Chains A and B, each alone.
Chain A
Amino acid sequence: MDQQNTHLNQITTRWPLITDPAQFVLRYATAIRCYLAAIIRDPHDLEDVIQDFLARVIERGLVQENAVRGRFRDYLKVSVRNAALSHLRRRSDNQAADGQLETIPAENDAGSAADNEWIAEWRGTMLGQALEKLEDQERLAPAGRLYLTLTLARDHPEADSVTLAELAAKKSGRPMTPEAFRKQLSRARTVLANLLVDEVRRTIENATPEQIDEELAELGLQELVRPFRE
């Protein structure tokens, strides 16, 4: 228990915004599954690795075997990869799973198919979380209409601001001029950008603005965020 608490304390110390490693793992569950699916061919092995990994998270938190500082994204990927290796090595004691072991990429596999999958899912999760937060904010305080303007612009890319303002007015039941729509849309993009930055900041130890920028760029979010960051 002391060892578990020590490990958990390390996690929360290094990433103070992560109060529950298990919750954090669930947050990025899709990325974890897709990454594992990219490095483990056998679907039964895949589910077994997931089971092992989750059991370790529950029991021990996110225990680091090699010091990985900086980004939680890297840390989590290493943990997941190590869980896959451990499982397959245990299997290789009894069964011929060496072929599977060979498919596990190196720790630094930037540019590999598996890494690309990991980044794509991580990016998707961050965007999805930011959008859902925006939607939740609007549900509690509908007056802002930020989520509404953003989704209307997304769903009607060819429409002009006159059309979009009419749609927003009809949907919300309150009038909206084209100018007001443009302003709200700009505001919505700014809020979304800041939500994304917050998501990124959560996952970097002692994040500096430069590190956040770097992470945004690596995730392909910088172009989306840069014009609207406050």
Chain B
Amino acid sequence: MSMPDDQPVSNGSRPTTADGGSSSKNDPLIGREYGIYRIVRRLGSGGMGVVYEALDTRLSRTVAIKMLADELTDNDDTLRRFENEARATARLNHPNVVTIHEFGHAENHRFLVMELMPGGSVQDHLRNHGSLSWEKATAIIAGACRGLAVAHEAGLIHRDIKPANLLLSADGTVKLGDFGLARSVHRSNSGITSTGHVLGTPAFMSPEQCRAEMLEPRSDLYSLGATYYHLLTSRFPYPVGDPMQVMFSHCSAPVPDPRHVNKDIPDECAAIVMKAMAKKRGDRHADAMTMLAELEQILSATLALSAAVQTPVPRLVKPTIPPVPVGDDSPSLTITDRRMPIISEKPPARRRFFMIGGSSVGIILLAGIGYVVTRGKGKSEGTQEEQKPVPPDPVPPVVTAQNPGKALTVVRRKSLPGHSGEIRTVRFSPDGKLLATAGEDLHVRLWKMPEGTEHYVLNGHKGRAYCAAFAPDNRTVATGDDQGIRFWGATSGEQLRNVSGLGAIFDVAFSHDGNQLAAAKGYAGLVVWTRNGRVGLNPLHNASLGNQLAVAIEYTADDRSIDIVTFQGAIHRFDAITGKEVDSVRRLRGIRISTSYGPHGELVAFGTGRGPMLWKPLTKEPPVSLASGIGEMNAVAFSPDGGTLAYGPGSDGSFWLRHLATKQETRHRTDNFLRSVAFSPDGKTLVTGGGHEGEVILWDVREAD
């Protein structure tokens, strides 16, 4: 085994864009022009070449130019890595990733033009200013984690995460840089070059990288954990010296505890370091979002504490939650503003109910947790005063004991042709004018309602399309498939954005104010983003559910919480801002097939071989069987007024409408096995989907005799 010359051993230094770097008067490139770029001064040098500050004479902006060293231009491996860096980074467009402007060559020089990072690297900052507080270290690693999450989402592994590659903008934002070693996660990439050199920086290399084995995103998380250790302690995780010894330590020595160096480091920070640096990949954080969630929890607690005592927290970087831009359809209330009511408000005295149009997973307001809802765009504050719920027209009023509503029946109106596979989701837009159907034939279709005419076919899903959700403004649709999330224009049918590399997304939900998007990501649990414009997403937090499979997701009416329903029959409630789990309910015995939430906080769930069971979460009451002996249920939905439950299928493909107050039931036949069901927001239409041939049927809802 040998180490290439450009891999530093002891300090991990790499080409940087450090401000205040040495400028050499003898450097022949100073003052020269390469195309539109005039070299101004030398910033630093590293293994691959020299980095200069330059002036873009066309746009009158300063940039950084990394010039590949002359002696390396004939080296195919190096050239390939240089170009690789350009392409890899250019694909990423995120506040926590250094922007690449251009890659080119002139006069036998190959160069990379990128944004100038006047703050230098984190390594430079440590060298010039000494150690960091744990708060600053955590904020830096959280920013880096966001950049890493984006890279991993795009299918890239960085392979050289370390303090020298975490760069600081003028406002202190941390950005990932130097993707020269990045490689696609889908390629059989190992940590070794074609000439047998191990790649990376030994002080921060994962065990599998040391062994030149196949790398994957969790390899980057190890390096980030090692970097975090370094920022917290100003020491390397393992004593640096001979590279082989360092690598041997990464492979075999106990995971270092930063508290052994500094006992004032919080336990939570140490836990993150030690988990990220687990020897086995399976023992580390599942992905960057999971690690980010834990980091955000620490930072949120710091923010809450500082707000409570009104003590400002010194910040090296911007607040971790970016504001929603003004001018978008989403509310003008910024996320940071939303945080304050959670800290300073007391829980309201009485609970309120609120409902939006039907879907197989409808509105949630769990009993026992007090939230006051006021209708209106963006308003989600709670108060202690009683407020009358203001449901949107034309949603029918919620039934009460005094006014239990009427029993319902349905009459078949028409079939909606087009799908050829099982229909996994049927969902109305909030205004009821569109219906989305997601099917195993890889398509999502949009239909105009109430006519039931085809509006658009949303093509391009990878694998099965599991879910669809409309943004509160009715303009945007988010769909989930086997590889991630896609955004579509509801009126144009055009795909606006593809967020791939997430894995299977079983359910998505917009917050009611449109500021957030949450996804049920199977065994990876909950993932939450803040929205940046119509399709922009900034990772906020995520939460793992261990060995439970997250299959359905919904925001509470006030957007303060997110409920995740698992295949194993549990409900977990998370704080929408911090991602911290705040409550959970006991599991329903048997395997949950589908759920629906009623307007009074009740929940209906199904178990294998059982009929529907009515269940009130967070109470001591046991589930109540609504009917028995009717086999496995696939779909359930409450009517908008909460008085009726639609569920099915029976063994012959039929489904039922059951009026809960009177237990009056009507049975209806379909030609196919029911898989999904939903009421329109006005309660006048029922949609059933499912079966093996993609049948979608519209039914007119009427009062039963």
Contacting residues, chain B, for A29 (C-beta < 8 A): 248, 251-252
Give Cα distance in the complex from A29 to B249, angstroms. 8
Q: Judge whether A30 and B466 touch: CB under 8 Å.
A: no
Does A22 lie at the interface of the complex (its beta carbon under 8 Å from any beta carbon of B)? Answer: yes
Looking across the interface, which residue of chain B has its beta carbon closest to that of A21? B1
Does A3 lie at the interface of the complex (its beta carbon under 8 Å from any beta carbon of B)? Answer: no
Q: Judge whether B213 and A132 touch: CB under 8 Å.
A: yes
Does A91 lie at the interface of the complex (its beta carbon under 8 Å from any beta carbon of B)? Answer: no
Q: 1/0 contact trace for A113-157 toward B, CB 8 Å?
A: 000000000000000100010001001100000000000000110
Q: Judge whether A26 and B466 touch: CB under 8 Å.
A: no
Q: 1/0 contact trace for B502-524 toward A, CB 8 Å?
A: 00101000000000000000110
Q: Judge whether B549 and A167 touch: CB under 8 Å.
A: yes
Given contacts A20-B1, A23-B211, A139-B216, contact A171 B245 (CB under 8 A): no
List B residues 631-654 near A (Cβ within 8 Å). none
What is the CB-to-nearest-CB distance from A206 to chain B, in angstroms, rounded to a whole number? 25
Does A174 lie at the interface of the complex (its beta carbon under 8 Å from any beta carbon of B)? Answer: yes
Q: Judge whether B242 and A173 touch: CB under 8 Å.
A: no
Given contacts A22-B244, A26-B211, A128-B280, contact A170 B549 (CB under 8 A): yes
Q: Judge whether B212 and A23 touch: CB under 8 Å.
A: yes
Does A88 lie at the interface of the complex (its beta carbon under 8 Å from any beta carbon of B)? Answer: no
Q: Choose the segment among A50-58, A183-191, A220-228 that binds chain B (4+ C-beta atoms closer than 8 Å).
A: A50-58
Given contacts A23-B212, A140-B188, contact A173 B466 (CB under 8 A): yes
Given contacts A50-B245, A170-B551, A173-B482, contact A26 B251 (CB under 8 A): yes
Contacting residues, chain A, for B213 (C-beta < 8 A): 132
Contacting residues, chain B, for A171 (C-beta < 8 A): 504, 522-523, 549
List B residues 198-232 near A (Cβ within 8 Å). 208, 210-214, 216
Looking across the interface, which residue of chain B has its beta carbon closest to that of A53? B248
Interface size class of A (residues with CB under 8 A): 20 to 34
What is the CB-to-nearest-CB distance from B628 to chain A, in angstroms, rounded to a whole number? 20
Q: Judge whether A166 and B591 touch: CB under 8 Å.
A: yes
Looking across the interface, which residue of chain B has its beta carbon closest to that of A57? B244
Q: Judge whether A54 and B211 touch: CB under 8 Å.
A: no
Q: 1/0 contact trace for A154-168 toward B, CB 8 Å?
A: 011000000100110
Does A32 lie at the interface of the complex (its beta carbon under 8 Å from any beta carbon of B)? Answer: yes
Q: Judge whether A33 and B504 touch: CB under 8 Å.
A: no
Q: 1/0 contact trace for B426-468 toward A, CB 8 Å?
A: 0000000000000000000000000000000000000110100
Give Cα distance in the complex from A58 to B246, angstroms. 13
What is the CB-to-nearest-CB distance from A35 to chain B, in angstroms, rounded to a whole number? 11
Does B305 lie at the interface of the complex (its beta carbon under 8 Å from any beta carbon of A)? Answer: no
Q: Judge whether B591 and A26 touch: CB under 8 Å.
A: no
Does B620 lie at the interface of the complex (its beta carbon under 8 Å from any beta carbon of A)? Answer: no
Does B567 lie at the interface of the complex (its beta carbon under 8 Å from any beta carbon of A)? Answer: yes
Does A41 lie at the interface of the complex (its beta carbon under 8 Å from any beta carbon of B)? Answer: no
List A residues 160-214 near B (Cβ within 8 Å). 163, 166-167, 170-174
Contacting residues, chain B, for A166 (C-beta < 8 A): 567, 591
Does B678 lie at the interface of the complex (its beta carbon under 8 Å from any beta carbon of A)? Answer: no
Contacting residues, chain B, for A163 (C-beta < 8 A): 591
Does B186 lie at the interface of the complex (its beta carbon under 8 Å from any beta carbon of A)? Answer: yes
Partner of B248, one of A50, A170, A173: A50
Given contacts A20-B1, A54-B244, contact A173 B464 (CB under 8 A): yes
Contacting residues, chain B, for A51 (C-beta < 8 A): 242, 245
Q: Judge whether B248 and A54 touch: CB under 8 Å.
A: yes
In the complex, how many residue pairs between chain A and chain B have their CB atoms under 8 Å apart? 74
Q: Judge whether A30 and B252 touch: CB under 8 Å.
A: yes
Contacting residues, chain A, for B196 (C-beta < 8 A): 20
Name which of B208, B251, B551 has the most chain A CB atoms within 10 A of its CB: B251
Give Cα distance in the complex from A121 to B14, angstroms. 37
What is the CB-to-nearest-CB distance from A38 to chain B, in angstroms, rounded to a whole number? 14
Give Cα distance in the complex from A119 to B281, angstroms. 22
List B residues 1-47 near A (Cβ within 8 Å). 1
Contacting residues, chain B, for A173 (C-beta < 8 A): 463-464, 466, 482, 504, 506
List B residues 282-318 near A (Cβ within 8 Å). none
Does B247 lie at the interface of the complex (its beta carbon under 8 Å from any beta carbon of A)? Answer: yes
Q: Judge whether A26 and B247 touch: CB under 8 Å.
A: yes
Looking across the interface, which residue of chain A has its beta carbon closest to that of B246? A54
Does B547 lie at the interface of the complex (its beta carbon under 8 Å from any beta carbon of A)? Answer: yes
Contacting residues, chain A, for B188 (C-beta < 8 A): 140
Give Cα distance in the complex from A51 to B241, angstroms. 10
Looking across the interface, which residue of chain A has its beta carbon closest to that of B279? A30
Looking across the interface, which residue of chain A has its beta carbon closest to that of B198? A23
Give Cα distance in the complex from A132 to B547, angstroms. 19
Does B390 lie at the interface of the complex (its beta carbon under 8 Å from any beta carbon of A)? Answer: no
Give Cα distance in the complex from A123 to B466, angstroms. 42
Contacting residues, chain B, for A25 (C-beta < 8 A): 248
Given contacts A22-B1, A30-B251, contact A167 B244 (CB under 8 A): no
Contacting residues, chain A, for B547 (C-beta < 8 A): 155-156
Give Cα distance in the complex from A51 to B504, angstroms. 46
Name which of A23, A25, A172 has the most chain B CB atoms within 10 A of its CB: A23
Give Cα distance in the complex from A173 to B507, angstroms. 12
Give Cα distance in the complex from A57 to B1, angstroms. 10
Q: Judge whether B567 and A172 touch: CB under 8 Å.
A: no
Looking across the interface, which residue of chain A has its beta carbon closest to that of B440? A175
Contacting residues, chain B, for A27 (C-beta < 8 A): 211, 251
Q: Judge whether B1 and A132 touch: CB under 8 Å.
A: no
Q: Judge whether B464 and A174 touch: CB under 8 Å.
A: yes
Contacting residues, chain A, for B463 (C-beta < 8 A): 173-174
Contacting residues, chain B, for A55 (C-beta < 8 A): 242, 244
Q: Judge whether B522 and A23 touch: CB under 8 Å.
A: no
Does B627 lie at the interface of the complex (its beta carbon under 8 Å from any beta carbon of A)? Answer: no
Give Cα distance in the complex from A156 to B583, angstroms. 25
Looking across the interface, which residue of chain A has its beta carbon closest to that of B481? A173
Does B253 lie at the interface of the complex (its beta carbon under 8 Å from any beta carbon of A)? Answer: yes
What is the CB-to-nearest-CB distance from B609 to chain A, in angstroms, rounded to a whole number? 10
Give Cα distance in the complex from A32 to B253, angstroms. 11
Looking across the interface, which residue of chain A has its beta carbon closest to that of B187? A140
Q: Judge whether A54 and B242 touch: CB under 8 Å.
A: yes
Give Cα distance in the complex from A173 to B466, angstroms. 8
Contacting residues, chain B, for A32 (C-beta < 8 A): 252
Give Cα distance in the complex from A23 to B196, angstroms. 11
List B residues 517-562 near A (Cβ within 8 Å). 522-523, 547, 549, 551
Partner of B245, one of A54, A155, A172: A54
Looking across the interface, which residue of chain A has its beta carbon closest to that of B547? A155
Give Cα distance in the complex from A174 to B440, angstroms. 9
List A residues 27-79 near B (Cβ within 8 Å). 27, 29-30, 32-33, 50-51, 54-55, 57-58
Q: Judge whether A170 and B522 touch: CB under 8 Å.
A: yes
Looking across the interface, which residue of chain B has its beta carbon closest to that of A167? B549
What is the CB-to-nearest-CB distance from A103 to chain B, in angstroms, rounded to a whole number? 21
Give Cα distance in the complex from A50 to B247, angstroms. 12
What is the CB-to-nearest-CB distance from B162 to chain A, in angstroms, rounded to a whole number? 20
Give Cα distance in the complex from A172 to B35, angstroms. 50
Contacting residues, chain A, for B247 (C-beta < 8 A): 26
Give Cα distance in the complex from A206 to B382, angstroms. 75
Q: Judge whether A136 and B214 touch: CB under 8 Å.
A: yes
Given contacts A22-B1, A32-B252, contact A170 B244 (CB under 8 A): no
Looking across the interface, which residue of chain B has its beta carbon closest to that of A172? B504
Contacting residues, chain B, for A155 (C-beta < 8 A): 547
Given contacts A26-B211, A140-B186, 12 further A-B contacts (CB under 8 A): A26-B247, A27-B211, A27-B251, A30-B251, A33-B248, A50-B245, A51-B242, A51-B245, A132-B281, A139-B216, A140-B188, A170-B551
Chain B interface (Cβ < 8 Å from any Cβ of A): 1, 185-186, 188, 196, 208, 210-214, 216, 242, 244-245, 247-248, 251-253, 279-281, 463-464, 466, 482, 504, 506, 522-523, 547, 549, 551, 567, 591
Question: 14 A-B residue contacts at CB 8 Å?
Answer: A22-B244, A23-B212, A26-B211, A26-B247, A26-B248, A27-B211, A33-B248, A132-B213, A140-B186, A140-B188, A166-B591, A171-B522, A171-B549, A173-B464
Chain A interface (Cβ < 8 Å from any Cβ of B): 20, 22-23, 25-27, 29-30, 32-33, 50-51, 54-55, 57-58, 128, 132, 136, 139-140, 155-156, 163, 166-167, 170-174
The 6 closest A-B pairs by CB, nearest first: A29-B251, A29-B252, A33-B252, A173-B504, A22-B1, A30-B252
